[in-house]
Amino acid sequence: METTPPQADAGIPRLELENLTVGFRKKPVLSGISLGVRPGELLVLAGPNGSGKTTLLKTIGGILSPLAGRVLLDGRDTALMGKREKAGQISLLFQGTSPGWPFTVQELIAQGRFPYRGIFGAEHPGDQKAVAQAITAAGLLGFEDRPVTELSGGEFQRVLIARAMAQEAKLLLLDEPANTLDPKYQLMVMTLLRSITGTGAGALVSLHDLNLARLYADRIILIGNGTIAALGPPPEVLRKEIIGRVFDLPPDTPFTW
């Protein structure tokens, strides 16, 4: 008898937000957020400072609870998933998350594999391979034994992305991964992200640099005034009237995106 390969993912978004409201102590920061991130899609989150990008990413990642609405991962409500299961499927990368401890590069990347380990912390058969592949892809060969506290910002950012790669998560949530990096590292980080989404993961990435967004995003979600201001492919969203309105730019601002 012929067997059909499993098609669990067919048509189901990696991430789906259903009428989500996010905020603090019942004070909404963003409301009416509905969108889907498809497998393999890189969705860039853009918007002015303080518009709610970090709050949204933290809510999707389970660090904050939604004030209303639902977050679905592969069709399943994340509120009903255990902490460990969520940690295995969602990779979070926030700014300034340097560990105070001088782990080596190899050790920090290997932490991406923790969700796969049994209750006694035994190695999973794929662990070493996943870590080695991530080190190579992130251009970190030769850095394995360096303490992460002694790396430059760009090197450390690549270590964090390599950890996300080793984790083989289905969804990546990254807050300003390209911030403070020089152009070479910015491009490297974005290329790495594209190679991770190439394996079928979805990524929601906040970026301030609209040129990077134009180059690397499949779609851009622009937030402003407490909700979605625009959502679509870069040429649809990066339009003078939209960007000018959302970022409150003077009319004579040269439009460079």
Contact between 90 and 169 under an 8 Å Cβ cutoff? The reply is yes
Pick from 21, 55, 59, 89: which binds ligand ADP (CB under 6 A)?
55
Indicate the residue among 53 and 113 with the shorter CB distance to ligand ADP. Answer: 53
- Candidates 48-56, 126-134, 163-171, 181-189: pick the segment binding ligand ADP (CB under 6 A): 48-56
Whose tokens are 């499949």? That residue is 218
Q: What is the spatial distance between Cα 244 and Cα 252, in angstroms, rounded to a whole number? A: 10
Residue 214's alpha-carbon distances to 9, 158, 252, in angstroms, are: 27, 21, 22
- Candidates 43-51, 65-73, 138-146, 240-248: pick the segment binding ligand ADP (CB under 6 A): 43-51
Residue 66 binding ligand ADP, by CB under 6 A = no
Residue 186 binding ligand ADP, by CB under 6 A = no
Pick from 20, 29, 203, 210: which binds ligand ADP (CB under 6 A)?
29
Residue 50 binding ligand ADP, by CB under 6 A = yes
Q: What kind and span of H or E run contains 42?
A: strand 42-46
Tell me the residue length of the chain: 257
Indicate the residue among 132 and 242 with the shorter CB distance to ligand ADP. Answer: 242
Q: What is the spatial distance between Cα 90 and Cα 79, in angstroms, rounded to a whole number? A: 13
Find the shortest distance in angstroms from Cβ 25 to ligand ADP.
7
Residue 47 binding ligand ADP, by CB under 6 A = yes
Find the shortest distance in angstroms from Cβ 22 to ligand ADP.
8
Indicate the residue among 29 and 110 with the shorter CB distance to ligand ADP. Answer: 29
Q: What is the spatial distance between Cα 202 and Cα 183, in angstroms, rounded to a whole number? A: 24
Q: What is the spatial distance between Cα 231 and Cα 26, in angstroms, rounded to a whole number? A: 26
Cross-strand bridge partners of residue 219: 43
Contact footprint for ligand ADP (CB under 6 A)? 24, 29, 47, 49-55
